[in-house]
Structures are given as structure tokens and as C-alpha cells.
A and B are shown apart, each in its own frame.
Chain A
Amino acid sequence: MESVVAFSALAAGIMIGLGALGAGVGIGILGSKFLEGAARQPELVPMLQARMFLMLGLTDAVPIISIAFAALLMFANPFIGQVV
């Protein structure tokens, strides 16, 4: 039973960590491309900004879903009590 809790804690940490890594790199690339495009054609900035926020939400989706599941593991662990 302790090992279930221990491994759940480890799993939650790995989920959040890898999710943060993916989100950070993805949004960094997205932001840099936006800045590059804005520098090239400043008149397109409003449109590009709207698209950037849309892409930001989409890129953030899967890491945040993994954070929600890690929070589930932390506070309402479904694995406790399953192993006899």
C-alpha cells in the first residue's frame, strides 16, 4: 500500500515535469515565430496575436490535462485500495 502511494507520487511528479517541459518548449517556439512575424510585418500584429493565443491554448491543452490527472493522483488517488 505504501508502494502504491509512493509510486503515485512519483508518477504525479513525472507527469507534471514532462508536461511542463513540452509546454515550455512548444510555447517558446510559438512565441519566437510570432515575434519574428511581427517584426517582419507589423501591420499584421493583431491578427497574428489572435492566432497566437489560439495556438497557445491548443499547445497548453495536453500538459494541463496531465496536470489535472496528476492532481487527481495527489488528492483523490484511485489506486489506493485496489490491491488486496
Chain B
Amino acid sequence: MAGSSPAEYISHHIQNLTYGRTLDGSWGFAHSAQEAAQMGFVSINVDTMFWSLLTGIIFCVLFRKASASASVAKPSKWQLCVELVVEMVWGSVKDAFTGKNALIAPLSLTIFVWIFLMNLMDLVPVDFLPYASQLAGLSHMKMVPTTDVNATFGMSLSIFALMIYYGIKMKGLGGFAGELAFHPFGKAFLPVNLVLETVSMVAKPLSLSLRLFGNMFAGELVFVLIAALVPFYLQFVLAVPWAIFHILVITLQAYIFMMLTIVYLGQAHEVHH
């Protein structure tokens, strides 16, 4: 780490651990950004998968522990914490969702806590885990799954699939297509309607994922820049205020993803006439 130039350090730290077909045809981890790029579609970012699954499992285990040992008379402190979160999510769902669906509230809770935990990995100091993993033999390691476009698009495309599924289920295939074709102008402006509605429908998952990705990537990049360009005795001065601001950004982005999921799925459930 010590001898490399700042640009090399920065590009090393924003590179995922990609597993795929390397330049000489064998299957293994990529050693540079160009090698990872030429792996193409048939490659997997192992660090993203590992950290997202680990945070998901942590969420499930911790919340299951709270619900399994739940008691009305003598609630444990962890049960009270979980109840706070669940009440907040339930309040948001009641406010914004007008249909009737048992999936929405657990989905929103999962989205909020899972994205929050994944974003929280960004507060671990920049070199801790990558250096430890380098000692273990892995060349790159990015701990924050939501800085990988693949992770955020995976989540938003799943929400998009749910939007289309519930749209067709609630309105029928004809009603769903009719809404695309006849809103906002009347039947006469069919092509205009189709273009507008398709663009706005595609913009929803796109903006959902890119908003989360952009915020997290910019945050992580600022941490890496501070680590690369600032002498070690000044790093504390810059990194601490940014980390404190980043706590707000983390929670806010998880909350926004959850709220927009609720709103979009609510729109999919709306039957006009």
C-alpha cells in the first residue's frame, strides 16, 4: 500500500473482486480493472455477493432472535429496538400504501434494514478489510455491496418485476396495457401516451438503483480520496466529519429506497375505475 501512487491506490480500492475467465482462458479472480472489464457478462463480483449475503443473514438472525423471544410483560432491550424499526416501517406503509397486500410491509422492512446494514459497511475504515483480505490472498475487496451497480440494479429490477406483476394482477392484462396506452392524454394520442408512460415506467427502477449507487459510490470515493491524498496526521480531521455526514446519508438512502418501493407498489395497486 505504501509505495503506490495515489491514482493506483484509488483505482485499486474501487475495483471489485471479480471471478471469471481471465486473459489466458483459465477461471480465476481478476488482477486488474482491465482484466475484470474484459471478463464481460460471465463474471461475478464475489465480494459483493459475500457481503450482501452476510448482512442479509445478520438481519434475519437478529430480527428472528427478537421475535422468537418476544414478550409483552418483560420486553428485552433488543426487542424494543426491533419494535421501533417495525413501527416506523409500518407507519410509512400505512401512510403511503392504499391497497391490500400482505407482502408490502415485510418487503419494506427487509429493504430498509438490509440496505441500511449494507450501507453501514461503508463506515468501516477504508483499509481495514481490504488489507486483511490481502493478507489472506485476495487481491481486491470492496466491503460495501451497494457501491456495486450490480447489487443496486438487482434490487431495483426485482421491485420492477413486482410492480409489473401486481399491476397486471390488480388491473388485468388489458387494464395494465390500457393504462399505458390511454394515460395521460386520450385515445387519440396513443403513441405519445405510450412513449411517455414507457419512459416514466423505465425511469422508476433506473433512478431507484442509480440514486442508491451514486450516493454510496460518491461517499466511498470521498473516503478513499481522503485516505489517498491527505497525510496521515490530517486524515482524522477530514474523515470524521465526512463519516458523521455519511451516517445521515446511509439512513436517508435506505429510507428513500423503502418509501419509493412502497409508493411504486401502491401505484401498481391503484385501480382507477
Contacts and interface: CB of A to CB of B under 8 A. Distances in A.
Residue from B11, B14, B214, B253 having most chain A Cβ neighbours under 10 A = B214
A76 B33 contact: yes
A39 interface: no
A57 B10 contact: no
A57 B256 contact: yes
Given A64-B211, A68-B213, A71-B218, A58 B256 contact: yes
Nearest to A69: B214
A56 B217 contact: no
Binding site secondary structure of chain B = helix
A61 B211 contact: yes
A4 B11 CA distance: 19
A76 B7 CA distance: 10
Nearest to B149: A68
Interface in B1-22: 7, 10-11, 14
A15 to B, nearest CB: 12
A65 B256 contact: no
A45 interface: no
A44 B134 CA distance: 52
B217 A68 contact: yes
B215 A54 contact: no
Given A75-B14, A76-B11, A76-B33, A68 B255 contact: no
A68 B215 CA distance: 8
B221 interface: yes
Interface string B220-245: 01000000000000000000000000
A53 interface: yes
A57 B211 CA distance: 9
B144 to A, nearest CB: 14
B76 interface: no
B208 to A, nearest CB: 9
A67 B11 contact: no
Given A61-B215, A64-B214, A75-B11, 13 more contacts: A53-B252, A57-B252, A57-B255, A57-B256, A58-B211, A60-B215, A65-B213, A65-B214, A67-B214, A68-B210, A68-B214, A68-B218, A71-B221
18 contacts: A53-B252, A53-B255, A56-B252, A57-B211, A57-B253, A58-B256, A61-B207, A61-B214, A64-B215, A64-B218, A65-B210, A67-B214, A71-B217, A71-B221, A75-B7, A75-B10, A75-B11, A76-B14
Interface of B: 7, 10-11, 14, 33, 207, 210-211, 213-215, 217-218, 221, 252-253, 255-256, 259
